[in-house]
A and B are shown apart, each in its own frame.
Chain A
Amino acid sequence: MATKTAGEIEQEILSPMLERTVSFLTEDMQISVTSNNIEIVSPNQVELKKNTAMIGTGGSIQVIITMSYDDKLLEKLVEVFLEGEEAPEDEIDEIRESVSSEIVNTIVGNALTNPLDGTTLSITPPILIYEAKSLFKHKSSKIATAIVNTEFGDMLLTVIGPKESFADTLNFKEL
């Protein structure tokens, strides 16, 4: 099987997720996307936003995916999910967390297949990340990021995987 470069990884792993994120925001949430910028590199560090949810995949490719939202964007998403209803004050934090988790669950569940054989990847229940500010790359891991800019702020998508997950068939290009 031919090896794949970082550019192909962008297309085959992150692009479907990015595509689904954009359609989710614009079609399901009615939020305008002003631009999106996929940056596939192997950064040593990714700065997370305060509101971050994480999900893992199982099966033939095991990666961790995080979605981070700017405050204003998450507030807008919560507003859309509530469909015009006022959230009780004692529930608003849990609702915010629930929306954050549900979005990553919906987008990843909708988007992820193994780019090598087209099979569906199983996903774990979402996990919320508190207090974490950065992701640091271990030398044997790979990090890919994509940023979606919306009228209400940015959404940061990150895929983290051990290089060994891909190494047999995908040739990550060291940058």
Chain B
Amino acid sequence: MLNVLIVDDSLIIRKNVRKYVTTLGHNVAGEAQNGAQAIEACRKLKPELITMDITMPDMDGITAVKSIREFDKDVNIIMVTSHGQEEMIVSSLKAGAKGYILKPVSEEKLAKSIATIYKNENLDVNSVDDELMDD
């Protein structure tokens, strides 16, 4: 089971990702609405996984990833973004993100992304199905 920090300025996305995380058998450690809050929450909550929106007010997701990497090399970060933002996806991955989910977010996409990152680890969850794990 993973402790997950959800970062998105959209209430509906935070609500849905929270639901998916829980359904997939993980724990929501906390939520943040912009990059600055994400950095603070990451220091405080020490999550194992972060879902991070890219386009947010005050501080965007890429800047937040760079800052988080300065003090936490281990947390896995999945960016949540749109098809058209390929350059930002590349920047995010260079900054230290481990993967990305294209909007609209779904439980299946999140499960697949988590499974890809943790493919060699036993997460002790009961909802990530074998087919996704094999992808």
Contacts and interface: CB of A to CB of B under 8 A. Distances in A.
Interface of A: 24, 28, 78, 81-83, 85, 91, 94-95, 98-99, 101-102, 105-106, 108-113, 119-125
Contacts, number: 62
Given A98-B10, A106-B104, A109-B103, A83 B86 contact: no
Contact of A101 (B10, B82, B103): B10
A91 B56 CA distance: 20
Interface in B46-63: 55-57
Contact of A28 (B15, B87, B104): B104
Interface residues of B, number: 21
B9 interface: yes
Given A81-B16, A95-B12, A111 B84 contact: yes
A125 B9 CA distance: 9
Given A110-B84, A119-B87, A120-B87, 18 more contacts: A81-B16, A83-B19, A95-B15, A98-B13, A102-B103, A105-B10, A105-B55, A106-B82, A109-B82, A109-B85, A109-B103, A110-B103, A111-B84, A113-B84, A120-B85, A120-B88, A121-B84, A124-B55
